[in-house]
Each structure stands twice: as structure tokens, then as C-alpha cells.
Chain A
Amino acid sequence: MRTRYSEDQQAVAEAFGDLFAREATPEAVRAAEAGCGFDPDLWRKLVAAGAPGMAVGVADGGGGASLVDLAVVVHEWGRRIAPVPLVEHAVCARLLAAAGVGSRRHLVASVASGELIATLAPGPVDADGTVRLVPAGAVADIVAARRGDDIVVSRGQPPGTARPNTADLPLADRDLSDAETVASGAAAASAWDRALAEWKALMAVAYAGLAGEVLAMGVAYTKQRHQFGVPVGSFQAVQHGLADAATRAEGARLLAFRAVCAVDADTAGGARLASMALLFGAESARFASDRALQYHGGYGYSAEYDVQLYYRRAAAWLLQLGEPATEIAQLAETDLGAKARTA
């Protein structure tokens, strides 16, 4: 049992923390927002660093790292709200490698290297073959989705434009009518469930990163900003709001990493923890960004300051995956049993 990073994980955190701090600056985030929510230069740098496929097996062309190691990188990604679809891609790459797409080895290898960008669609394929609002749909070359009892994969030209949205995320509708089936039946169900659990657990970690960073911005600002002749951060009302946000952010971080460990180890209840961690992470990130924005006063609301970038993503990341009420309803099924059918 070790609830802190190992020395190796600490080194990974520092290396990627530096990379994201250097490359995914707030200016880079704004530049991506002016486009489709994607920074191709940053993606190339992550490819060079081996990040996109780091948690794919070596035999499949990946780095052979664990899901927990990947989560360490994702935490840094979340801190900088970096405009690249690292989590979607990494989870889809693992799904493709695991779902026996072995006959298309070159495809898996191209995804593992990051040469092709992959994503997965949480929503269903419509009757006409489209999936709406696919995360990273604007830039992904490969889209995996559920169609009936199958997992299908489509390779197509990404539109390169996103549907305008709250957080300028690369959300786009995709036509999956030409998608090929890569897994069916029980094998598809368990592979998909696992991918969703990984996605939720990793996004929970990303949320912990976002919450921690936006809180740090709030703390730094309230130490430096003076009103009534004293730092705003010396007022107890402000301190207590920040303390509550810090407590929830730390709880979210611990629950998120605990969920990643459980999913990685295939522990019973791992998917449940992942879902809980995602919901709590999203709520904690929203609370932290709300407090940080509030204690910036009017500047927090201005486009010039960075808090608003975090505030918008705190809301949007979760909703890309689905409605919170649905997530809670699924947890209720697990913990409380099915609802009785009404006549």
C-alpha cells in the first residue's frame, strides 16, 4: 500500500509537468480555442515523448506502462487543461489493443504511436449511422463506438471543425455508417465497460489536476490582491471558501487515484469507484473554479484572466461523457438494485 507516487512516478510527473507548463500555456489554450480546440504542435510533442500510447502493451507498439502511470501524466494534463485529446486517445488505444484488433496490427500501432488520433464515442450510433457530439470528434482519425452489441471502429477524415461549445472542446458529430465491427457480444460488452471505467477514472484524475491548479490560482491571487489595505486572502470568509475547495479537491484526488488503481488491478467494484470519482471530481472542480473565480472579483469574470478557462472546462468535461443524472442512476442500479417497473 502506497498512496503517494513512487520515485519513478514522481519523475514522470515532473517531466510532464514541465512539458505541459512550457507548451500548454494559457496562450496556447486560447489559441486552440480560436480553432477547433486542438493544438497540433502540442500533440506532436506528446507523440515524441511517447505519451499517447504509453499505456499500450509493448507488443502492440506502446510503452507498456500501467494505467496508474498514465494517470500521473493525465493529472499534469488536467492541471494545464491542455488542448489535446490525451485521455480519449489513450483509452481508445488500449481498447483497440485489447479488443483483438490484432489482425489490423498496423492500425493499432499507428494509434499507439499517436500518428493517428483515436477517440471513443460514449453515445449510441443513430439509425442513420451518426454519433453526435463525439469528444475529440473534430480531430480524431479513428472513432470507436457501440452499435448494438458490437464495438465498431470507423476510420475517416476528421472534420477539423468543432461544434461551438461552452469550453471550446473539439466536439463534432461523426458519420460511422462505414464503421467495421471489431468485437461482438460478451467480449465487446466487457471490453467497452472496461474502457468506460478507464475513461471515467482518468477524467476523475484530470479533474483533480484542474481543481488543484485553479485553486492555486485563487490562492496566489488572493495573496497578492489587496483591498481595504490587506490581502484579500487574509479575510476568513475567503479563506474558508478556499479551505473547503482544497478539502474537496484533495478528497477528489485521492478517490480518483484509488479508482485508477482499482480499475488497473481489475478489483471488483473498480467501475463503481471510477464512476463515483468522476462525479465527485467534476463537482469538486466546479466548486474550486467557482471559488477561485469569485475571489478574483471582476477580473475572474474577464476573458483576460485564466480562471474562466478552467471554470468552463470544469463543467464541460463531464458532460462530454453523458449526463450526471444517468451516471448516478447507473450507480443506483449497482448499489440499490433496479427500480421496480411501474404499471
Chain B
Amino acid sequence: MAISGPFNAHIEAERLHGSRGGFPLFADVSFSLKPGAALRVTGPNGSGKSTLLRMLAGLIRPDAGKVTITGHAPDAAPGETIHYLGHLNAMKPQLTVAENLDFWLRFSGGAAAEGGWEDALRRVGLSRVRDLAFADLSAGQKRRVAIARLLATPRAIWLVDEPTAGLDAASTVLFETLIAEQLAQGGIVIGATHVPLGRDEGWQTLAIDPATVREPVAREALAP
């Protein structure tokens, strides 16, 4: 796939160790992604996919190892390079779809996409519901609005956690198209998912296998 686009960020994970509530989840996770690369994180429930994604976003500190993101302004906040879409949609139920998207567009740093959030909402096929309260949408529609947030402010790296949960078949295909566009622009997509997220062969797979981690690892033992 030809890469031409504004993004030029690299993300590198070096020997990441993660745990949840003191229970070790994964150890020695390393990878390096170039512009246009896509990584699928797979593993059974509770294996630490979400923890890894939140670690990459900077919301959780790794027990050991480090995450390096290069290719953006050195003083840029993680939020200006990374879009994180977790299990929650980060939208206020009391506000309308338009108010929610408009807020995130204005609040987040960085340039807005051409066409603003209106265009992003049109691309996920939800222009009709722009004046409905977010609480009144169906689960799938809520997810699509959350995806529209990713489109409204272009950012190099997408970290998406079960992004297609609740989406119907047509919307899933639509999201795959959006991911392909993001990759074609030189963006990076890392997705934790049980389902394939793209039709392309370009995806790398990182399987987290809980069986590889047996003993709790002491923080000190891992320090370089």
C-alpha cells in the first residue's frame, strides 16, 4: 500500500511488563511500528490487551520497559499524537452528539480535520442524529460517534480497544475502510480485538499468551 500523508510517527515498545492489581499479565512485550503499520493485539479475556493499550497511551505506567513515540514535536502531549478509543466512548450522555463532538474538537490540541466534526459525523453515517442527546443513541450509534471523534482531529497513532464492539456488519466494514485510510496517510493503528480489523495483509499480530507469565515479577528484578 502506498503511503502518502501528513503523519510521520513511530512507536516503539521495549520489553514491556504489565500487571493488573499485582497480578502479572504479560512480560517482555516488544515491537516497533513505522508509519503505515498496523498491529493487532490478540489474546484471551483478561490476558492484558486493554492494559497494554492503556500503557501505550501513557495512562498506565509499565512495571518495566518503556514506550517511545518519535516523530512529533518533543513538547507535544500524548493527546496530540495519540487517539485512544477505549471501552468507554468518552461522551457525555446529557449533551447532544453535536455538543459532544464540538467540545472534543475545540478542547483537544492540534488541527481539526477538513470539514470539522460535521464531516466526521457524516462519514460514520450519523448526520441525522446530531441534535439527539448522546444517551438516546443505540450502543452501535454511540460507538460510531466515538469513532467520529477520531476522525474530527487527525492524529498519527490510533489505539483502539475492541473498536467494533456493538457495530453492525456495515459499520464494521466502514470502520475497516477508515482504518485503511488512516494507514494510507502514514498513521499507525494498534487494535485490541477478537475479530479481524482489516482485509489487508499488512497487519502484524501480537498474541499475548498468559501461559508465558507464571511467576510474579518483582519490579526491582526488571530494572535495567
Whether both chains belong to one complex is answered with: no
B interface with A by C-beta (< 8 Å): none
